[in-house]
Every structure is written in structure tokens, then in C-alpha cells.
Amino acid sequence: MVEMLVDLTDAELVRKCQDNDDSAVRELYRRYREKVYRIASRVVLNHDDALDVTQDVFVRVLKGIGAFRFQSSFSTWITRVTVNVAIDSLRKRRRMKSVAFEAIEPEETDTTVFKRDQAEKVRAAFELLDPEQRSCMVLREIEGASYAEIAQALSCSIGTVRSRIHRARGHLKRILKDMVVE
Amino acid sequence: MIMKISCLFIRPLIERFVDEELSAGSEKMIRSHLARCRHCKEEVRLLFAVRKAVQLLPVPLPEERFWNDLWQGVLAELATFTRLRPIRFSAGFFYRNRMALAGALAALAIFVLAMGILTFGTGQQPQSSVVPYIDYHVSQTDQRVPLENQLWGSQYMLVSYHGQ
């Protein structure tokens, strides 16, 4: 049964979820949990918050899956929910003035490209971006989404996405340029 | 840094070049420019470095037990929300929700009734005892009586009406 579910497309899986198939719901979670967590953790920049966001995203998605009408792909929909929940979480956290980002323990990075302190600088610069700019950057540079897909996911125009990415890149470019100069 | 004229045309396209959004012809034009221009080449290198830097931001994926705990949390949240399937307006749906539907219909009826009364009234003419008194007094008053006296008289009639 599990093997069969693995072979299903997202749309087929969602239809099964709409028919209250518990194993399909579980498979959907297994399929998307890492993607949701990856996006969330790069937007909220905090491991614990990213886990909370991931849980919240799945609760919202599974609550609303009955009303999902396949007007966009499931992947786009869950990405949109993730980004929105992550941005909301970030705004709440900023209001509460809690610590940000320290909770993430750096994993093994490509040290030939970036030394640890350089990675810290990039990370700090990334943290200074607006949540919306950061979301666009994550979806574009990490998830490889097209501008149209990002615009759909964030419910804004392609021009807005392009401008957010341009500004974010400009900011990070200056940081990287300074590192080269140093 | 001195930019060449050709750079001014190329620069706006560089970001699209990095995003692989250009047509084959434009891409070829950019590549040939990059082969000659070290400033634009540096710009491209920086944009790729930004991408790499963002990709290298550390994201430690949780262990399996975290995923299981997370799933239990999702299930616990969903336990308070039993409706996973879309609403289908079958006979069963109406039977299960008969009390809620009856309440909603009653509320709707009360609302419609209230709006009807507010809009059209009760169908009877408003009974004002004050206005006829004033009309009567004005008609009986000599036209030569100064206006302030007429008004005083009206007030007097009103006071006497309320005070009777």
C-alpha cells in the first residue's frame, strides 16, 4: 500500500486525502515535510520556529485540503501557505523581540567557497533582508522556482518578485564584494 | 570603474542571464560580451556567489524522531477539527446539521421580519397628537399676530398638551 502511494502524483494523493485516506495524508506529510521545513527555516532563521511553522503549515493544509480545487498545483499551494505562515511567525517573533537564528547549529558547509566567518556575515546579511525579500530569495535560489511560480505562491506580480530579488541580491552582493576586498 | 557603452546595454540583462531567462540569441550575445569585459564578468561572478551563499546557509534537517513528534502534534491539532473532506450537501449532511440549520433559518426569519417592519412600518399611520394641535392653533391665530407670539403660542399648546 505504501509503495503504491509513493508512486501516486500529488493530485492523486490529494484526492485520496479528500476522501479521508489516512495513509495518503501521512504520505503527503512525508513527501513535503522537508521542503516545508527547508523554506520555513530559511525564512524564520530559527530551528525551533521552523519546526513550529512546519507543524502549523501541515495543520492548515490538512484542514483546508477538502476545499482544495486544483486551481494551482499542490506544491505551489503548500509553498504559499509555508511562506505566509513563516512571515507571520517572523512578525510575531519580532514583536516579542526574541532571539533569532542562534539556534541553528551550522552543519558541514563547503569551506572551500566560504569560510566560517564569511558564512556568518552572509547569514547576518540575509537576516537583514525583509521577510518578503528573503522568501523570494529562498524560493528562487534554493527551491529553483521561476518568477511566475514565486509570484503565484506569494500572490503578487512578477514585477514585484523581480524587484524584491533584485534588491536582495544587490544587498548580498555588496556584502560579498566587501569580503573580497578584505 | 569605467563602463563601456556596450555594458550599459548588457547590465540590465545580466540578472536574467544568471536566471537563465534569456533567449538563445541574447545569451550568446552576453557570453561574447563577458569574454571581453571583466567588469560585467565580475558582476556575473558576484551574482552566482550570492546564489551559492544563500544555498550554503546551514539548514540542519531534523532527525526522524522529530518528524514523528511533529506528526503527532499535527494529528493532535487536527483532532479538534474533524472535517477533512469537502462539504457535500447530501441528505445526511442536512440531517446531521438539522439543529444548526433550524437555528440559522429562525435567525434569518427574525432578521427579515425586523427589516420589513423597519422598512415598511406596521401599515398604520403614525399617530401624532401634537401636530394637529399646532395646526389648529396656527389656523386659529390671527395673521396679524407677530411671529414670536405665534411661536410662543405653539410652545404654550405643546406644554399644555404634555402637561395635561
Q: How confident is the model at residue A103 (pLDDT cuts 50, 70, 90)?
A: very low
Are the C-beta atoms of residues A154 and A101 closer than 8 Å to each other?
Answer: no
End-to-end CA distance of chain B: 99
Are the C-beta atoms of residues A10 and A73 closer than 8 Å to each other?
Answer: yes
pLDDT computed for residue B127 by the predictor = 56
pLDDT computed for residue A115 by the predictor = 62
Instruction: Region of A20 please: left (phi>0), alpha (psi -120 to 50) or beta.
Output: left
pLDDT computed for residue A126 by the predictor = 87
Are the C-beta atoms of residues B59 and A126 closer than 8 Å to each other?
Answer: no
> What's the rounded mean pLDDT across residues A2-17?
82
Report the C-alpha gap between B56 and B50 in whole angstroms: 10
pLDDT computed for residue B156 by the predictor = 47
DSSP B40-58: HHHHHHHHHHHHHHHHTS-
C-alpha cell recorded at residue A121:
556575515
Q: Which of A66, A106, A169 sits opposite B84 (nearest CB)?
A: A66
Greater pLDDT, A3 or A64:
A64
Instruction: Region of B123 please: left (phi>0), alpha (psi -120 to 50) or beta.
Output: left
Q: Which of A51, A65, A109 sits opposite B62 (nearest CB)?
A: A51
- Contact across the interface for B85 and A19, Cβ inside 8 Å: yes
Chain A: closest CA distance from residue B108 (Å) = 26
Q: Which of A103, A71, A37 is nearest to B74 (CA)?
A: A37
pLDDT computed for residue B52 by the predictor = 87
Judge whether residue B150 has pLDDT over 60: no
Judge whether residue B122 has pLDDT over 90: no
Q: Which of A44, A75, A59 is nearest to A143 (CA)?
A: A75
What secondary structure, in 3-state letters, does A3-58 show?
A: HHHHHCCHHHHHHHHHCCCHHHHHHHHHHHHHHHHHHHHHHHCCHHHHHHHHHHHH
C-alpha cell recorded at residue B158:
405643546
> What's the rounded mean pLDDT across residues A156-161?
93
CB count within 10 Å of CB B89 equals 7
Chain A positions in Cβ-Cβ contact with residue B47 (cut-off 8 Å): 169, 173
Q: Number of helices and strands (H, E) in chain A?
A: 9, 0
Q: Distance of alpha carbon B13 from its chain centroid, rounded?
A: 38
pLDDT computed for residue A90 by the predictor = 83
User: Which residue out of B51, B56, B67 would a mutagenesis test of the A interface target, given it has the greatest number of A Cβ atoms within 10 Å?
Assistant: B56
Q: Does domain A1-97 fall into CATH 3.30.1540.10?
A: no
Report the C-alpha gap between A51 and B87 in whole angstroms: 31
> What's the rounded mean pLDDT across residues B155-163?
47
- Contact across the interface for A173 and B51, Cβ inside 8 Å: no
Q: How many CA atoms lie within 13 A of A70 on its CB side?
A: 8
What is the per-residue pLDDT across B7-63, written as a single tens digit (0 to 9) for each? 888 888 899 999 988 899 989 989 999 998 888 998 999 899 888 888 888 777 888
Chain A positions in Cβ-Cβ contact with residue B61 (cut-off 8 Å): 34, 37-38
Quick one: what percent of chain A has pLDDT higher than 90?
28
Assign a CATH topology to domain A106-182: Arc Repressor Mutant, subunit A (1.10.10)
Could you give the 3-state DSSP secondary structure of residue B142? coil
What rounded mean pLDDT belongs to chain A?
82
pLDDT computed for residue A165 by the predictor = 94
Locate CATH 1.10.1740.10 in chain A. 1-97
pLDDT computed for residue B112 by the predictor = 92
> What's the rounded mean pLDDT across residues A92-111?
51
pLDDT computed for residue B57 by the predictor = 81
What number is the ipTM of this complex? 0.72
Q: Which of A129, A126, A127, A105 is nearest to A116 (CA)?
A: A105
Q: How confident is the model at residue A4 (pLDDT cuts 50, 70, 90)?
A: confident
Burial of A31 (0-12, 13-18, 19+ CB in 10 A): middle
- Contact across the interface for A106 and B86, Cβ inside 8 Å: no
> Of A18-22, B3-7, B34-38, B114-118, which range is least confident?
B3-7
Judge whether residue B4 has pLDDT over 50: yes
pLDDT computed for residue B163 by the predictor = 45
Would you list the domain boundaries of chain B? 5-55, 130-162
C-alpha cell recorded at residue B90:
447530501
Q: How confident is the model at residue B82 (pLDDT cuts 50, 70, 90)?
A: low
Grid look-up 567557497 returns A113
Judge whether residue A99 has pLDDT over 50: no
Q: How confident is the model at residue A98 (pLDDT cuts 50, 70, 90)?
A: very low
